[in-house]
Amino acid sequence: MKRKFITNLGFLLFLNLLVKPFWIFGIDRTVQNIANPGEYGFYFTVLNFTFLFNILLDFGITNFNNKNIAQNNQLLNKHFSGITLLRFVLAAIYFVVIFIVASIIGYDGRHLYFLAFLGFNQFLVSFILYLRSNISGLLLFRIDSAISVLDRLLMILFCSILLWGNITTEPFRIIWFVYAQTLAYLVTAFVAMLIVIKKAAFKRLQWNASFFIMIIKQSFPFALLVLLMSFYNRIDSVMLERLLPKGVGTTQVDIYAKAYRLLDAVNMIAYLFAVLLIPIFSRLIKDKLPVEGMVKLSFTIIFTISMIIATCSSFFSDQIMTLLYIGQIQEAQKVFVFLIIGFIPISATYIFGTLLTANGNLKALNIMALTGMVLNISLNYFLIPSLMAVGSAYASLTTQFITAIIQVAIAQHIFKFTMNWKYIFALLFFALGVIALNLISYSIHWDWRIGLIIAGLASVIWAFVLNLLSVGGFIRLLKNE
């Protein structure tokens, strides 16, 4: 399993690092820079609003299905038809709810027009993730990896034509960006559907009310978890726009989006760990095999990566913001520092939260997520009026650290991991060393790009010196199952 995890993680990272950074920094960033002031903030707010009710599209079925298919491959043929039809029913409920809530909070006609397309995009994304959960549940990680970047490849193609293809004399409109995403998701969903239909020996959709009730009952704890986590991860920009005066709110969301884009980019790395780990953890737990080795391996890698990225980005935050954006640099830099430090606890969540999900500890996770949601909304409510986007960043960082600590504590309590003090002190020394290396590099008067690269490389070497990473260990993993 360790060999499968390392080889497929490498392949998945390669594909995603090849495609998604260009999407985020080449396309998404360009759209924000050329859009009229506040336009991207408007789009970003409506987008995050659609995320809040995403659970109605999925109801925890994707996580439940990934775990279930990994442990019982034969259920794919039995469940696929019924779950597919159920998802269309849930989509109808989702659209009714988001438009009712949008009307209640005062969204106008333009908000609702964007909401229709972005809501449809969320349905497509959710459906693609469900289809991929079947593919990864069968441990077909390479096929899943290819599907994971297909939508972004298509978006890059479509948006590049709109941005630089000179096919229109009109200034770029933010709604075109939304249309391009819709088309890319449609094509990706079609391709993924064909693959799963072939594996599932699918014939036709079947209405089965008792099956729907059974699936909803079993997936409800997953649904509640996703709902609560969506609120404390995505409500920041919605509250910024709603709590601040008109115009000020969308401008602050613009600033927040500039900082959040980099967190979103690196978050991709941690998310890929979870994609691979949930079927692997599920299989190990079902077969009553020890998970401690896999937890330590995955956490060591992701902690090393997140610590280096967060620290280097924090020290050189002003230069990075200046390189990427036009205007509002100082405001975005302050927000960015707090958000990117949050990448460290977020990474831990992707390991320990995934482990607890695979083990079925949904009650504990839901209590944790409820705590996070209440804390995040409360902090945003009190901090946004005075600190605006920076206040949201404070709220996010605090929430992420507290919820990560809770998940680690729950996992330790349930799995009774060995307290390896040598390993814990190695992690601590590594973190202190990375901070010191960045402080030294930042203090030397050379080109900041050189300083950033040297600090990053020195930090990687420091990880090898402390034996957190080992070339020999990776080679042994690749040679052995």
Tokens matching residue 452: 């950033």
pLDDT above 90: residue 456: yes
Count of residues making up the chain = 481
> Does the residue 437 lie in any domain?
no
For residue 356, being part of any structural domain is answered with yes
Residue 450 located in a structural domain: no
Determine, yes or no, domain membership for 265: yes
**447 occurs within a structural domain:** no
Q: Between vectors from CA 295 to CA 291 and to CA 299, what angle results, nearest 5°? A: 175
What type of residue is 34? Answer: I
Residue 47 clears pLDDT 70, i.e. is over it? yes
Q: How confident is the model at residue 231 (pLDDT cuts 50, 70, 90)?
A: confident
Q: What is the mean pLDDT of the chain?
A: 83
Radius of gyration of the chain (CA): 22
Residue 412 lies in a domain: yes
CA distances from 239 to 183, 192, 298 (A): 30, 35, 35
Q: Which residue has the higher pLDDT, 216 or 108?
A: 108
For 241-254, write each residue's pLDDT tens digit: 888 887 788 889 88
- 110-142 pLDDT tens trace: 889 999 999 999 999 988 888 887 776 666 667
pLDDT-derived band of residue 477, with 50, 70 and 90 as boundaries? Answer: very low
Residue 227, number of CB atoms within 10 A of its CB: 21
19, 152 in Cβ contact below 8 A? yes
**Closest Cα to residue 223, out of 95, 92, 357?**
357
For the chain, the domain total comes to 1
Residue 176's domain spans which residues? 2-418
pLDDT tens, 431-446? 999 999 999 999 988 8
- Asked if 70 and 354 count as a contact pair (C-beta separation under 8 A), the reply is no
pLDDT of res. 480: 47
Residue 13 inside a domain? The answer is yes
Q: How far apart are CA 87 and CA 37, in angstroms?
A: 37
Q: Is residue 317 included in any domain, yes or no?
A: yes
pTM, entire model: 0.75
pLDDT at 303 over 70: yes
315-350 residue pLDDT tens: 999 999 998 887 778 888 999 999 999 999 999 998
